[in-house]
Structure 1
């Protein structure tokens, strides 16, 4: 297999891994929102949960950026491979 195809395969792997990470972050946020729905008035500090959600969201944005970069690199490489 050529180096270009190996690099492309690695980018596909990276894309899949980042997509799974995003899904996991989104699930964590959803669970925290559900926790607020179920127990907000029962001894939870809403400000703390908001801080946790915002921190998770900040990391989620970084992962989105990484995913976009991988997709961009994959598109460029795909174009190069198709010209060979």
Structure 2
């Protein structure tokens, strides 16, 4: 499982999706959490959002995206076979 950290909403999501599989996780961080307002994110795996970034931006998450704590982020990072920062 790859953990892909996305930090900007202007990233090339089509390119990102081409390297991802259904077993990968996409973590929306920083301003990338604004992507939750997009009708459908073109990502084959599960999409998560960093709870602190969601809270600071006063965003309501759809049911399809789960907020995770900083501690959960650390655990996911430690258990992932790869950690990628996509911007």
- Higher Cα radius of gyration: 1
The TM-score normalised by the length of structure 1 is 0.27
**Which structure carries more relative contact order (alpha carbon 8 Å, separation 6+)?**
1
Where is the strand percentage greater, Structure 1 or Structure 2?
A: 2
